[in-house]
Amino acid sequence: MSDDAADQLEPAVDPARLAFDEEALALADDVWRVARRLARDYQAAEDLVQEAYARAFRSWRSYESGTNLRAWLLRILHNLAIDNARKQKRAPEQLGLEADDYYLYERLGGNPVADVDVLVERLSPGPVLDALAELSLPFREVVVLVDLGDLSYQEAADVLEIPVGTVMSRLHRGRRVLKRALADHAEQGTV
């Protein structure tokens, strides 16, 4: 292969891009320090830095050579941190276990593995359907759509034309009422 053919196979490297990459990577320690303060978590800070550099390298042409690259990178990092915080606020809250979550276990007591086997043997569709029928309509609709119909929160919200937060609230409260009703049936031996 001739030298001309070899030159045609290798892509031309833009000197401006090389200069940008070198200057941006030289600022990695500064970007990392700011990310650690913004995220307050090592893994989250790593993710922020990685995403900030990915965005910077994707849009390197929008950077005006000769201006403050450090400020430009930190602005990208800051915007990412704000976006992530907003996403976390919109995400459903992860609730820990509450006292009511152990309601059935406390009512039945004993070995949890044996209790599960006993409950499975004693379950019949009658009490479950009865308990479901006892739920008020707003709670029953959400429980049926999400738990029995396998719809996501958003899909259930779209079907019922209510906000996603309302779906999550009604589902939580509906499950709690069902749990208590089924525990009463189990205690009486009718489940």
CA angle 4, 8, 9 (to 5 degrees): 120
- Is residue 152 left, alpha or beta, with left meaning phi > 0 and alpha meaning psi from -120 to 50? beta
Q: Which CATH architecture has domain 12-90?
A: Orthogonal Bundle (1.10)
Look at residue 95 and give its three-state secondary structure. coil
**If DSSP codes are grouped into helix, strand and coil, which group holds residue 91?**
coil
d(CA 101, CA 125): 22
35-59 confidence digits (pLDDT tens): 888 887 888 889 999 999 999 999 8
Q: How confident is the model at residue 187 (pLDDT cuts 50, 70, 90)?
A: confident
Q: How many helices (H) and strands (E) does the chain have?
A: 11, 0
Six-digit token string for 156: 């259930």
> Are 183 and 107 contacting, i.e. CB atoms less than 8 angstroms apart?
yes
Domain 99-188 in CATH 1.20.58.1180 = no
Would you kindly state where each structural domain of the chain is located, as residue ranges?
Answer: 12-90, 99-188
| Weakest mean pLDDT among 31-35, 45-49, 130-134 | 130-134
pTM of the model: 0.44
Instruction: Return the top range by mean pLDDT from 4-18, 31-45, 113-127.
Output: 31-45
The single-letter DSSP state of residue 123 is -
Each residue's pLDDT tens digit, 164-175 = 999 999 999 999
